[in-house]
């Protein structure tokens, strides 16, 4: 069941979920903004260690108002974490950055609604290259982040399957099996190929 409550479905408040990926770094994120009360927090789980981030940027903010680079801070594994989050008045065009010393992490998030749960999958890719490979799924929409690429890849499922080709020539194919996913990758620019697999962790 989604955590998001229906009164927030078309507002900037509610729940946002997704994945984080970088070199040697894999995790999930969930942001809660007045979903069940007045909570304004983000929970990150990175390399199996969790941290809760809080903010003073939204003291005068109300659900349905735009958020512009709100600063969330906390401590992860003894390191200070800074996250900045933006979204428009109806919960679309969300954007975030996250800064952890020593970790270059690329995030991707969706807004969760009361009708569709956001599923986060963490895994790895292997073959001619290897690293972290994570996916966020929102119905038929998905976002892919993996180490070695600084920009998330956004696509749609075709008959429940991944069949994606980026402008740069990265081809990703795959299937979902309940809480598992897996498939193949190919970089047409370099000729490198391999496989990937992931498990649902959020």
Q: Is residue 192 part of a domain?
A: yes
> Does residue 96 lie within any of the structural domains?
yes
Quote the CA–CA distance of 112 and 30 in Å, as a whole number.
10
Sheet containing strand 95-99, edge to edge, reads 95-99, 79-87, 67-76, 49-55, 40-46, 25-33, 14-22, 105-112
Mean pLDDT for the chain overall: 96
Residue 1 covered by a domain: no
Percent of the chain with pLDDT over 90: 93
Domain annotation covers residue 179: yes
CB 51 within 8 A of CB 76: yes
pLDDT digits over 165-200, tens only?
988 899 999 999 989 999 999 999 999 999 999 999
Cβ neighbors of 80 (< 8 A, separation 6 or more) are: 73, 74, 101
Q: Would residue 97 count as lying in a domain?
A: yes
Asked whether residue 180 is assigned to any structural domain, the reply reads yes
Q: Which domain holds residue 176?
A: 6-200
Tell me: the pLDDT tens digits for 5-38? 999 999 999 999 999 999 999 999 999 999 999 9
**143 in a domain, yes or no?**
yes
Do 5 and 27 contact (CB within 8 A), yes or no? no
Is the pLDDT at 55 greater than 90? The verdict is: yes
Report the predicted TM-score, pTM, of the whole model to 2 decimal places.
0.96
Query: Residue holding tokens 């969706």?
Result: 110
Overall number of domains in the chain:
1
């Amino acid at each position: 069941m989604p955590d998001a409550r229906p009164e927030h479905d078309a507002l900037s408040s509610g729940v946002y979920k997704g994945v984080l990926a970088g070199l040697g770094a894999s995790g999930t994120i969930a942001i809660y903004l007045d979903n069940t009360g007045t909570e304004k927090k983000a929970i990150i789980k990175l390399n199996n260690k969790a941290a809760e981030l809080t903010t003073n940027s939204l003291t005068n903010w109300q659900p349905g108002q735009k958020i512009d680079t709100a600063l969330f801070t906390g401590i992860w594994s003894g390191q200070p974490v800074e996250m900045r989050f933006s979204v428009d008045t109806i919960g679309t065009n969300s954007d975030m950055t996250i800064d952890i010393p020593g970790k270059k992490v690329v995030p991707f998030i969706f807004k969760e609604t009361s009708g569709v749960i956001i599923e986060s999958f963490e895994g790895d890719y292997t073959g001619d290259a290897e690293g972290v490979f994570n996916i966020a799924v929102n119905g038929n929409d998905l976002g892919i982040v993996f180490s070695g690429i600084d920009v998330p890849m956004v696509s749609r499922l075709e008959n429940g399957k991944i069949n994606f080709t980026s402008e740069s020539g990265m081809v990703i194919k795959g299937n979902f099996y309940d809480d598992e996913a897996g498939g193949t990758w190919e970089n047409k620019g370099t000729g490198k190929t391999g496989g990937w697999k992931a498990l649902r962790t959020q």
